[in-house]
Structure 1
Amino acid sequence: MNELEIQALGMSRSGNHAIANWIFRQAEAPKLLLNCAEGKTDPFLSARPLMTGGPVWRAVDAAGRADLAHRSRSRRLLYHSYEDSWLAHAFSDKLERHHDAWLGPSRRRVRLLVLRDPFNLFASRLRMGAALSPHVSRRMWKQHARAALGRGRKVPDLVVVLYNRWCREPAYRAALARALGLSPCDAGLDEVAATAGGSSFDGLLYDGRAGQMPTGDRWRAYADDSEWAALIDDEMCTLSEDLFGPAPWQAPDRAALG
């Protein structure tokens, strides 16, 4: 039995790994994280390595030791993440049908949807070399944004995490921790997750002081880039303002961007 199961979805470079690390560090053991699984599949079989040549899971047993990812174990937290996926693919009917066989029963299930403002997100994705086409990237971000605003596909037990606010607002993080039944202690907040090489711009340079990374200024490096501009449209700007407030170049308080 999993006491708490979190299934997390976000576009790559949305802060998924930072938020997963923060949640994992605060949760009590035994706990297990399955990284970047594929929708409509058994996450134990489709999860990807946390780093090249490494395991596909991060697990700690009740004594605080590294643990093997046996699917039959009872855990306080089971966290499985998905990236660059449509809602129906990640939160799939097939997973529901096979849920207990693949993951075991869970006392409480949460579906976490992570979003970052599109201007900084797409700057980071361009720097990383994200593979999705501009058309698919736009559609996917807008689908996630509409769901976060309650205007699109209904996802049961949905908890939305806005990366910009998570970065800059201690009260926002504390409220999220309480909503997940965790003690809000900010363990792991200043760690840069090594998964996929860390930050698209800074790698692991800011590990131990992640709060100093200028994550709200990534758009500046692409402000005159036609490929970046082509990813942004009017509907996206409207959705972004509804979620995050003014675009970063319009915000009166640059320090508030996170």
Structure 2
Amino acid sequence: MAQVLRSTDDAALVPGRVLRVYGMRRSGNHALIDWIMRNTSGGGLFLNNCKPGRDPLETTRAVTAYRDGAQLDMPGREARIAAAGDAPTALVSYEDRMPPLERKPLYAAPETCVIIYRSFLHWAASLLRKIQGNPGYGPVDRMRVMMNAVNTYGTMLERVQDGDVVPLLYDRWNTEDSYRAEMAARLDLPGRDLSKGRVQSYGGGSSFQGKSVAPETLTTDQRAAQMADDLEYQLILWTAARDPHFIARLAEVFPEDALRLSDLLRTAKAEVTLT
């Protein structure tokens, strides 16, 4: 018998399939989630930014309904859940968290665990730029948020290599049609729409270009260069470069990023010695 979870307004959800999606903010999460939902068959529900260990319907920030890949525009959570029909695909997302090594299924339905991730240098640049736009955060607050995020990112570097998750690399998804087709097949999606879709408005869109920019004009591969002269960004890279455990994990997933951080550390040490 299928497990039925209920939210506080008694809207029931009995999915036919569950995609549990994890990712750090500014990793292209919502672009890839939109792509996944556009490629679902039958009904689909996207439960955004839920809290681990609790009923997704009680903690989700928003519920979006789909039918054969098309987003359904209607008011009210109960109406959206009903519109998705029987046994929909439920995509439950978690931000700034990684899946635990042992986790209980959310529902009595087949479940796939996905991690969306992005190269360290571009991710750190994008997250910092986003935080810098918050007038309530001073330099100390920004460094606290960034260092906590870097720590979680280090955990992510380990989990994307585990066999119980499907890793989705935003950098390749954004540039390679063949990668989108390959990952659609791996996720058992029909692959009817392999386009990148429109820029998502969650979180204000791109940290650098907003939410009105067209997908083909996004310069996501230039974020590190665009922040290269920012002193706070340099401090974050310097701190990460001085952590040998982090660099070792980074080298396993993003060897070019690890090499650049190692070069940064050697150059900085040389400059300190000369002075």
Regarding TM over 0.5, the answer is yes
| Whole-angstrom CA distance in 1 between matches of 2:187 and 2:224 | 31
Supply the AA of the counterpart residue of 1:112: V
- In the aligned structure 2, how far is the partner of 1:175 from the partner of 1:240? 24
Contact preservation (8 Å) 1:39, 1:92: no
- Aligned partner of 1:14 in structure 2 is 27
What do residues 153-210 of structure 1 show as CA deviations (whole Å, max 9, x unaligned)? xxx7310111111111111111110011112233551311111221111112323xx1
In the alignment, which residue of structure 1 is the partner of 2:235? 230
Are 2:115 and 1:116 aligned?
A: no
Q: Which has the higher contact order (CA 8 A, sep 6+)?
A: 1
> In the alignment, residue 178 of structure 1 is paired with which amino acid?
A
Amino acid at match of 2:180: R
Q: In structure 2, what is the equivalent of residue 31 of structure 1?
A: 44
User: RMSD in angstroms over aligned alpha carbons?
Assistant: 2.9
Q: 1:248 to 1:144 in 2, by over 3 A?
A: closer
Counterpart selection for 1:141 from 119, 140, 153: 153
- Residue 252 (structure 2) aligns with: 242
Structure 2: gaps (5+ residues): 1-13, 74-78, 133-141, 261-275
Amino acid at match of 1:40: G
Aligned equivalents of 2:124 and 2:151: distance in 1? Answer: 13
Alpha-carbon distance between aligned partners in 2 of 1:134 and 1:142, rounded to the nearest angstrom: 12
User: Partner residue of 2:55?
Assistant: 42
Q: Deviations over 1:114-142 (max 9, x none)?
A: 11011111111111118662331221101
Larger radius of gyration: 2
Cα displacement string for residues 189-245 of structure 1 (whole angstroms, at most 9, x for unaligned residues): 1311111221111112323xx133110101122212232123232354554443244
1 CA distance for matches of 2:63 and 2:180?
Answer: 24
1:189 matched to 2:193? The reply is no
Counterpart contact for 2:39–2:190, Cα < 8 Å: yes
* CA distance 1:240–1:190, shift in 2 (3 Å): farther
> Identity over aligned residues, as a percent?
24
Matched pairs, number: 226
Aligned pairs (5 A) from 1:1-258: 1-48=14-61, 56-61=62-67, 65-66=72-73, 67-69=79-81, 74-88=86-100, 93=103, 96=104, 99-100=106-107, 105-106=108-109, 108-129=110-131, 133-150=145-162, 157-187=164-194, 189-207=196-214, 210-232=215-237, 233-234=240-241, 235-247=245-257
Alpha-carbon distance change, 62 to 206 in structure 1, aligned in 2, over 3 angstroms: closer
Structure 1's 241 and 205: CA in aligned 2 closer, same or farther, altered over 3 A? farther
Give yes or no for contact 2:250–2:258 (8 Å, CA) kept in 1: no
**Counterpart-to-counterpart distance in 2, 1:184 and 1:62:** 12
**CA contact under 8 A between 1:31 and 1:78: conserved in structure 2?**
yes
Task: Give the TM-score normalised by structure 2.
Answer: 0.72
Q: Distance in 2 between matches of 1:189 and 1:112?
A: 18
> Match of 1:2, SS?
coil
